[in-house]
Structure 1
Amino acid sequence: MYGYKTEARNTLKLALPIIFGELAQMSLHLIDTAMIGYTGYKQLAAAALVLNVINIPFIFGIGVTISVAQMVSLAHGKFDKQLVSHYFYNGFWLCTAFAIFISLGLFFGRDILWHLKQDPEVVELAMPFMSLMSISIIPMVLFMTLKQFADGLQYTRTAMTLSIVAIPLNVFLNWLLIYGNWGFPRLELIGAGYATIITRTLIFVALGVVILNHKIFKKYISVSRTQWKLRKATLTQLLKIGIPSSLQIGMEAGAFAVSGILVGTIGAAEQAAHQIALSCAAFAFMVSLGLSQAGSIRVSHAFGSSNWKRISMIGKSTILLAVIYGSVCFILFILFRNQLPLLFNHEEKVISIAAGLLLLAAAFQIPDAIQATSAGLLRGIKDVNIPTIFIFIAYWVLGIPLGYVMAFYFGMEERGVWMGFISGLSFSAIFLTLRFLKKIKQKG
């Protein structure tokens, strides 16, 4: 028991800066949503439409960056600074290529918004915002690549600090550009897009300067002359982790994005309410994601030295932390379901719908925390292919189809879509956890 408590405490110590960083990044989205929401619910619906459409490819890019943390952590567990530096260099350029590809694809494919059966006025508002958000993907993916490198070495505070600093910067830029203060033009939704590009670019540049110059990273930068070379074998190793990781989180994010588009066919008010409830659930999920990343990094480090007893203790204690956290969120969502929507909008219909959806969000807080953690632990032991299949079944065989049927054939509308969430997340939580327990039993 003492060992499990120690591992849980160490995981929390690593996770907290990651969690604060993730919450800060999510806060940027919530701030945009809230500040846009006060310009009108159709502007909010337009923002939701764009975020839902770009979320799948954007998350795919973020998933590729996960391979940097995984391989850097593995090399760090072997105490090989040359290999750490080599993985970092190859990972950075791999992620850069993915970021540019995704950004250009979204920018030139933005006309897809006209073919999703959305409110035409909402689409008209969304088009320029889509262009700006597509461009902002490049600095954000690059920032996340640098963050994953630092996280893989268990130096998590720098990225956290920059993520937190970005919040007041983003608020200030939104205040200037959305509402037209201090003589700036009132750009509303477009202003939020410009503010996002500026904020993401600044934090990427700042983290890059720190990594290239800070003494903590000096020993990895000092071997750049011999290790900063692109190698096909290294890129392949990164892709073997990055592609399944991208598919895993991309399929989950994609399911939520498609659900937003489905809800948008019901009505603009329903889409706005869906976005509010989903923003609250996503904010809560950032803590689970932080636990998942911390557990994954620590397990990967132990995996580098083949210490399966420690892997077992780290994994089981992290899953327990996820259960405790999910239970707290379950209670809070029920208690504050009527107050949380007021942070985003004051339209009576929107608030009423969002409050009902938050009750359903409460129901999947525990399985959501568990499945995120278990997926991260499995990535830590380089088990990514079978879990990817489980996640595909959870969301695209069970969750989305069931949600669609309940929404449009049983008349539950947006509530039916969220019932699909509950079923998919529960399936994922059960099978991913069983998979991890089976793997550590085999090796124990």
Structure 2
Amino acid sequence: MLREEAGKTVRLALPIIFGELAQMALHIIDTAMVGRVGYKELAAAALVMSVMNIPFVIGIGITISVSQMVSMAHGRRDGQMVSHYLYNGFWLCAIAAVFISLGLELGKGILFHLGQDPEVARLAVPFMQLMGWSVIPMILFMALKQFTDGLEFTRTAMLLSVLALPLNVFINWLLIFGNLGFPRLELVGAGWGTLITRTLIFVIMGLVILTHRTFRKYVAIRSRQWKLKLLTIKELLHIGVPSGLQIGMEAGAFAVSGILIGTIGAVEQAAHQIALSCASFTFMVSMGLAQGGSIRTSNAYGRGDRIRITAIGKSTLIVALLYGCFCAVGFVVLRNQLPYAFNDEQPVVEMASMLLFFAAIFQISDSTQAIGAGLLRGVKDVKIPTILIAIAYWVVGIPVGCLLAFTFKLGASGIWLGFIIGLTLSSVFLSARFLKIAGKPVKEMQEVTG
């Protein structure tokens, strides 16, 4: 049964994974193309991503509530509530996106107060403005994506994400380097490329949902179900806020660490960005698996099928373990070659190669902790996991990393050792909690997670 459930989860997750990889590829291509301009521009891009990652991923976490609630309603075959969650979830995400973008715009001056290289901070400001406004179309796209994913139609968003890849590369080529008569905007050009691409995929995704026959029935009943309700918003926030905090605390740990590494030097920050980009790329597969497992678990939870919940969870954790081992080997083997895809300055390459070795060590725990968090969201268990993640990263991981980096003078390596400890604790905490909860009858699960 475990093999069968693993196969079903992987099939559902594959389009999500390809979509996530495409989105991450956009970021990596931006990083690689900016890196060709200069290492200070690369460090500026890393600084901006470090600052905006926390609020951005909290917004993305809120969109996850849409797929969870849609999946549960779909499991109960309640099309009315599916439509209702789509409408309320979209407007909740829209409000969150606007607040995040305004916060980033108003707070851009913080870039000059983080102990960074002054030139790096100066280069980062206009890039942060553009990236901040691009949060709005991206979160709205993700809200619609979570709706289609919750119905287990995962190919729609994947196709748009993949098609966006060459478009973004082309716009970058025009605006970063000033080709075909366009102005050479360098880092700012990468910001415009991201904003334009994200806006287009959101608009197209919206048109698909409004017009395609697969989703038309949920739009057709809008007169009865497309009404904002405080109770529904609270339901979505019950899952969305803790989910956003969970993802935000992990991303925040990496973001804060990036800022701390930036105080050491621009070379270290550029190397950190290279290693983190590679680790983030492999993590997207884990995120896709986590979403696939979460959607299937949520669907089974809506039907009250405890046996299926357990089988889906165990099989997905096994897949995550195998995938983590594969990635660890790949990073060890390719750690000296991968940095050259981003930058060819020898000090940056050597530092990035060393950090990639640390990234290899935490691949297994990074994959399994993502799956554990996703499975727990599938059974609406979000409060306790949020506390466990906070302890793993912020009580243990970050402080230990700072101690090793600055007291024991290990520099960037010390920060990355802190990552390893935090991710390992998170993996153990979350996996153990899911296995404990999955052994209970559904009514007891609801009591524990409510």
Aligned equivalents of 2:394, 2:285: Cα separation in 1: 25
The residue aligned with 1:66 is 64
The residue aligned with 2:235 is 237
The residue aligned with 2:284 is 286
Aligned equivalents of 1:324, 1:5: Cα separation in 2: 13
Runs of 4+ in 1 over 3 A off after TM superposition: none
Structure 1 residue 218 displacement after superposition: 1.2
Is it true that 1:369 corresponds to 2:367 in the alignment? yes
Aligned equivalents of 1:29, 1:244: Cα separation in 2: 26
Structure 1 residue 372 displacement after superposition: 0.2
The residue aligned with 1:26 is 24
Is it true that 1:270 corresponds to 2:236 in the alignment? no
The runs of 5 or more residues in structure 2 that have no matched partner are 443-450
SS of residue in 1 equivalent to 2:134: helix
The residue aligned with 1:122 is 120
Aligned equivalents of 1:129, 1:442: Cα separation in 2: 50
The residue aligned with 1:172 is 170
The residue aligned with 2:184 is 186
Aligned equivalents of 1:108, 1:176: Cα separation in 2: 29
SS of residue in 2 equivalent to 1:210: helix
Structure 1 residue 440 displacement after superposition: 1.1
Aligned equivalents of 1:388, 1:109: Cα separation in 2: 26
Aligned equivalents of 2:138, 2:151: Cα separation in 1: 20
- With 434-443 and 48-57 compared, the bigger mean Cα shift is at 434-443
The residue aligned with 2:304 is 306
The residue aligned with 1:322 is 320
Select the residue among 201, 219, 222 that pairs with 1:203: 201
In structure 2, what residue type is equivalent to 1:242?
A: G
Aligned equivalents of 1:206, 1:101: Cα separation in 2: 23
> RMSD between aligned alpha carbons?
0.6
Structure 1 residue 341 displacement after superposition: 0.4
The residue aligned with 1:349 is 347
The residue aligned with 1:111 is 109
Aligned equivalents of 2:92, 2:441: Cα separation in 1: 33
Aligned equivalents of 1:141, 1:107: Cα separation in 2: 16
SS of residue in 2 equivalent to 1:442: coil
In structure 1, what residue type is equivalent to 2:21?
A: L
Query: % of aligned pairs identical?
Result: 64
Cα displacement string for residues 279-311 of structure 1 (whole angstroms, at most 9, x for unaligned residues): 000000000000000000000000001100000
Aligned equivalents of 2:85, 2:173: Cα separation in 1: 40
SS of residue in 2 equivalent to 1:59: helix
The residue aligned with 1:37 is 35
Aligned equivalents of 2:99, 2:252: Cα separation in 1: 18
Structure 1 residue 442 displacement after superposition: 2.3
In structure 1, what residue type is equivalent to 2:328?
A: F
Aligned equivalents of 2:203, 2:135: Cα separation in 1: 14
Aligned equivalents of 1:305, 1:397: Cα separation in 2: 38
Structure 1 residue 429 displacement after superposition: 0.3
Structure 1 residue 252 displacement after superposition: 0.3
SS of residue in 2 equivalent to 1:265: helix
SS of residue in 2 equivalent to 1:79: coil
The residue aligned with 1:4 is 2
Cα displacement string for residues 86-134 of structure 1 (whole angstroms, at most 9, x for unaligned residues): 0000000000000000000100110000110000000010011111111
Is it true that 1:381 corresponds to 2:389 in the alignment? no
The residue aligned with 1:219 is 217
Cα displacement string for residues 5-42 of structure 1 (whole angstroms, at most 9, x for unaligned residues): 11100000000000000000000000000000000000
Cα displacement string for residues 232-268 of structure 1 (whole angstroms, at most 9, x for unaligned residues): 0000000000000001000000000000000000000
The runs of 5 or more residues in structure 1 that have no matched partner are none
Structure 1 residue 219 displacement after superposition: 1.2
In structure 2, what residue type is equivalent to 1:221?
A: V
Aligned equivalents of 2:305, 2:63: Cα separation in 1: 25
Structure 1 residue 136 displacement after superposition: 0.4
SS of residue in 1 equivalent to 2:228: coil
Structure 1 residue 73 displacement after superposition: 0.2
Aligned equivalents of 2:12, 2:212: Cα separation in 1: 20
Structure 1 residue 4 displacement after superposition: 1.1
Output aligned runs, 1:128-167, within 5 Å: 128-167=126-165
Cα displacement string for residues 121-178 of structure 1 (whole angstroms, at most 9, x for unaligned residues): 0001001111111100000000000000000000010100000001000000000000
Aligned equivalents of 2:297, 2:156: Cα separation in 1: 22
The residue aligned with 1:84 is 82
In structure 2, what residue type is equivalent to 1:289?
A: M
Aligned equivalents of 1:297, 1:138: Cα separation in 2: 25
In structure 1, what residue type is equivalent to 2:320?
A: A
Structure 1 residue 443 displacement after superposition: 2.4
Aligned equivalents of 1:5, 1:126: Cα separation in 2: 48
SS of residue in 2 equivalent to 1:63: helix
Select the residue among 419, 425, 441 that pairs with 1:443: 441
Aligned equivalents of 1:156, 1:166: Cα separation in 2: 16
SS of residue in 1 equivalent to 2:177: coil
In structure 1, what residue type is equivalent to 2:122?
A: E
